[in-house]
Amino acid sequence: MTIDASRAGLGVRELELPLQHRATGRDLHGFAHRARQLRDTVYACGPLGINFRGLRLPLVGWKAGFMDGPAVAAVAALGLADDLWSGPERGFRAHLRRGRTTGVLKLIGVPTIGLLATRRLSGALLVGLAANALNQLDTRPGRALKAYLAAALPLDAPVGIAVLLLPYDLREMAMLGDAGSNALGALLGLKSVERFTGRGRWVAIGALAGLTLVGERTSIGAWIERTPGLAAIDRLGRR
């Protein structure tokens, strides 16, 4: 809040108050406590996004760009550009009607990255559709990360960074943003190319394309919240 006030041109003044706190010492516990404070300060100085509640939260999903090579990093960079400079458009049709938007950049750039990384049309489609699918799910805390973890296990995709980010996302201390959801989705697409045969890839492409079409016409999040079993999993761990 102090950073926001300063950036808005408001006066910031320090006042000494007769308060006490439980001070930490020069031991392992104390150093760990101050390290967490430094980490949170660094996050607060970085890019911020607005979640579904209207809270301004640090965008930390760009960390997923370090998970699995340059292709995932490039997708994370496109997603971060969308986080920082996107307009109010949502969905493929809205971006295409608007023309030159960061969403159109992703629409072209993410499949191109998939094509260069896999040298296959099926790879381009899988990477693009999987990135978009996970982005469609990132409308409530923890939803996209839970979906990623569920798909990562059978695809043998790395889960470390997703496990580390999940508590922050669920507690609304930080958010993935497009950088994180697109990068994680693209990683699932790349792993699908490795794991599936040609026919299996096209089945996955058909399923993801269907999910994309549904997401263009209706709210996938609302459908999840109306489905008893999925709704319980979706709420698990959330504030």
Number of domains in the chain: 1
Examine residue 156 and state whether it is found in any structural domain, yes or no.
yes
Tokens encoding 45: 């100085």
CA 210/CA 233 separation, integer angstroms: 23
Cα 17 to the center of its chain, rounded Å: 40
Per-residue pLDDT of the chain (239 residues; tens, 9 = 90+): 888 888 889 999 999 999 888 888 889 999 999 998 998 888 888 888 888 888 888 998 888 888 778 999 999 999 988 888 876 656 555 545 555 567 788 889 999 999 999 999 999 999 999 999 999 999 999 999 999 999 999 999 999 889 989 998 999 989 999 999 999 999 999 999 999 988 899 999 999 999 888 887 888 888 898 888 889 999 999 87
Backbone angles phi, psi at 229, to 5 degrees: -65, -45
**In this structure, is residue 88 part of a structural domain?**
yes
Helix, strand and coil content of the chain, in percent to the nearest 5, comes to: 70, 5, 30
**What local confidence, expressed as pLDDT, does residue 40 receive?**
84
- Please indicate, yes or no, if residue 24 is contained in any of the structural domains: no
pTM for this entry: 0.81
Phi/psi zone of residue 17: left (φ > 0), alpha (ψ -120 to 50 degrees), beta? beta
Q: In the prediction, which pLDDT does 39 show? A: 86
Q: Hey, what are 15's tokens?
A: 């006042």
Q: Does residue 18 lie in a domain region? A: no
In a domain, residue 38? The reply is no
Domain range enclosing 215: 57-235
Tell me how crowded residue 39 is: count the other CB atoms within 10 A of its CB. Answer: 10
What whole-number distance in Å separates Cα of residue 40 and Cα of residue 218?
A: 36
> With left for phi above 0 and alpha for psi between -120 and 50, is residue 175 left, alpha or beta?
beta
For residue 159, being part of any structural domain is answered with yes
Residue 189, both tokens: 């697409």
Q: How far is CA 188 from CA 10, 127, 157, 210, 231, in A?
A: 45, 7, 7, 17, 23
Residue 141 within any structural domain of the chain: yes
In a domain, 50, yes or no: no
- Model pLDDT, residue 130: 94
User: What string of DSSP letters covers 80-95?
Assistant: HHHHHH--S--SHHHH
Phi, psi of 59 (to 5 degrees): -90, 115
Burial of 165 (0-12, 13-18, 19+ CB in 10 A): buried
